[in-house]
Structure 1
């Protein structure tokens, strides 16, 4: 049954594909269709060549259209496209990738859960945190805390713990999963007060991005992340670090937990593990969380996780080759070099009358603009200059190009932002 409001405007026509994360009346008729890519550039069906200043959605770390990754997928598909990893069954590529990730993990002696992406990983991590406490006999520990302005994907749990309120709006309740709450992104004392108000005996886990991406490239205040870890340790709360964006080199370290000296209980990852060449994500699980599910006992429980494509053999083969490229081309140290250049370039831009502040951590940059200069309008104009960027919360322009970016390309990207701001100021 449908209900028609006679006063509603007629729908706008467009392609059959329903665009993701889009206010459709605002984008229909002016969408850019990408048909191919090479290195740090994408090409549209209407003939534009655009520098990919966002690495897609923060993921194209080794650049686009790498033949090595296509070859890895091709060879794997000819041998075994995939086989599930349920029960007794595994596939060799999933086992190999699990061992590789465990060896490089900042969590000692982890188990590795593989799935199809970052939203999957968050769902699994939040469920595992609650399952952990239920099995331990702490049945009241069900609340998942997350930070204001946080983004953790858009599955049911990711939607529920979103710190961007608009991602939770419109579903009839404040949170799809009811036992969630937000804490301050800046004030560690306020976080501690929230924990005490809710009661630590009700809180299963706290989820945090080390650097908030979609929230506006928000870098942590000195001591903030360490404070979150302390609060979790003192109150028997699991700390889940969301490294979906930051994992695999984006901060100049393989994991941002290494940059900030953290030891979380679970780490979620995705994007950079394959550089977006195949959909794959997962969770690194610390021993005190995984061991109760591995004991040889009649009372040992199951943790019921997994989907058809968990441990997808071709995705795992691509991930393994992608990790090789990061090592062979020394791309993680290269991010450290690009970070220093980006800091210098944005420092020069910071004095512009339209700029409130600039933020950098690794090859993650944000340019916060004054209220009367729209970040969305600026990013639209940058397309006309040959650059892809994105508007983020806080009226922020995102900068996060591939790791293969040259010094000149990074300078040109920042200069283009300055040129657009100058042109707008001159109007």
Structure 2
């Protein structure tokens, strides 16, 4: 049914907003509008409570309307609402940078602030190219991403990304190549990391042979691919990428916009999977999604290279940045969010409950034959749904709409349903979510 009258929006107002990653025509015929949020629930404009089954957009692991974060933002806006990002600073940016390093691998202790995950990826790729030029290896300009990878919506992000629907409309991007994804035949319904598919890391050697390491600046992968449907790395896969990059003098970038700050049951995906990259991109959970912010962590050697070759002290070592880099409100939100993750031991809670989560999501294996695969790690799960009438995205859309009607928000993307509950989710809420999905699968089938 249409919610236009209930939402108080006119059709003209609805039409004025060109919505991001949305089927605008369908949405504006039947809007799904959220009015408020608290804890683990949204409230829509019909007054219905909706369980947040994706933690916002992988962003709100602490839940919504968190008092400590709200108070930090309110205090900050009443003190310093904006500070110029270039040539001047404010204390909280340095405090937050240090706090972030407490979550990062020890070697990655230099933090550059951005406004989003897309900006973080763009920053990482630019710095990778500039780093090699500083090292006298200016031919190292190419990048290697991975099929089914997602690295934001910028031109650099879609270039190294590997989701076809996000690439085909835009034509030529940056000079980049792609590894195969790790969803290998036989790995279906794996619980956590599979033993199948690690050999696909060897494809990096083929790309190096083809293009030569002297031309390759960096390899960028998500430790766990989130937007493509929770694709968990096979055992040994990330270790092998690290080995090959070391052997051929190529930087390794982990895009941890989804996996950093607790989602994997660890401080980072790097920690969860036991592999340390040269650069980590992050966003989303750093502020609990409340104020837009991203960041990039670099190994100190990369930072030192720019400082040592920066010319006179007053000169810019890196001519790069954003108007909203280290925004005071975002820094206040980030400090409050990360302090809560630490003091409440929420990464540890995710790790402790991940077995319960795994059991629950894999109980859907026999819910309906259209469920062709389930993958999970930490508090994340992806469910692959068989296509309908040759359209891979049709059933996931139908499932997500039916779940919304039942009072549950889940993400549909491509041929998958994606789940990522808040870090503080209760077992009863997990059970309700999974039971509703099982019922919905039967209805849609």
Q: Same fold (TM over 0.5)?
A: yes
The answer (yes or no) to whether the contact 1:107–1:284 under 8 Å persists in 2 is: no
| 1:275-324 Cα shifts (integer Å, max 9, x gaps) | 10111111000022111111276389721111111011111011101111
Separation (CA, whole Å) in 2 of partners of 1:48 and 1:104: 37
Separation (CA, whole Å) in 2 of partners of 1:20 and 1:62: 24
Matches within 5 A, 1:83-98: 83-87=83-87, 89-98=88-97
Separation (CA, whole Å) in 1 of partners of 2:146 and 2:274: 20
The answer (yes or no) to whether the contact 1:339–1:360 under 8 Å persists in 2 is: no
Matches within 5 A, 1:186-225: 186=182, 187-225=200-238
What are the ranges of 5 or more consecutive residues in structure 2 without an aligned counterpart? 1-10, 183-199, 389-393
What are the ranges of 5 or more consecutive residues in structure 1 without an aligned counterpart? 1-11
Matches within 5 A, 1:280-299: 280-295=293-308, 298=311
> How many angstroms does 1:231 deviate by?
1.4
Q: Where do 4+ consecutive residues of structure 1 move more than 6 Å?
A: none
Separation (CA, whole Å) in 2 of partners of 1:260 and 1:190: 20
Matches within 5 A, 1:67-86: 67-86=67-86
> 1:4 is matched with which residue?
none
Give the match's secondary structure for 2:267: coil
Separation (CA, whole Å) in 1 of partners of 2:346 and 2:287: 14
Separation (CA, whole Å) in 2 of partners of 1:104 and 1:221: 24
> 1:354 is matched with which residue?
370
> 2:179 is matched with which residue?
183
Give the match's secondary structure for 2:295: strand
> How many angstroms does 1:198 deviate by?
1.6
Separation (CA, whole Å) in 2 of partners of 1:63 and 1:307: 28
Give the match's secondary structure for 2:17: coil
Give the match's secondary structure for 1:28: helix
> 2:104 is matched with which residue?
105
Does residue 320 of the first structure (1) align with residue 340 of the second (2)?
no
> 1:7 is matched with which residue?
none
Separation (CA, whole Å) in 2 of partners of 1:73 and 1:345: 36
Q: Of the candidates 354, 359, 368, which is equivalent to residue 384 of structure 2?
A: 368
The answer (yes or no) to whether the contact 1:355–1:367 under 8 Å persists in 2 is: yes
Does residue 142 of the first structure (1) align with residue 141 of the second (2)?
yes
The answer (yes or no) to whether the contact 2:117–2:281 under 8 Å persists in 1 is: yes
Matches within 5 A, 1:262-281: 262-281=275-294
| 1:163-200 Cα shifts (integer Å, max 9, x gaps) | 012212223x332x2x1111112211223212221211
The answer (yes or no) to whether the contact 1:293–1:301 under 8 Å persists in 2 is: no
Separation (CA, whole Å) in 1 of partners of 2:309 and 2:402: 61
Change (3 A) 1:422 1:166: closer
Using the size of structure 1 for normalisation, the TM-score is 0.92
Using the size of structure 2 for normalisation, the TM-score is 0.88
Change (3 A) 1:327 1:103: closer
> How many angstroms does 1:99 deviate by?
1.4
| 1:256-290 Cα shifts (integer Å, max 9, x gaps) | 10011111110001101111011111100002211
Q: Of the candidates 324, 328, 336, which is equivalent to residue 309 of structure 1?
A: 324
Separation (CA, whole Å) in 2 of partners of 1:253 and 1:109: 16
Give the match's secondary structure for 1:336: helix
Separation (CA, whole Å) in 1 of partners of 2:366 and 2:60: 30
Count how many residue pairs are aligned between Structure 1 and Structure 2. Answer: 409
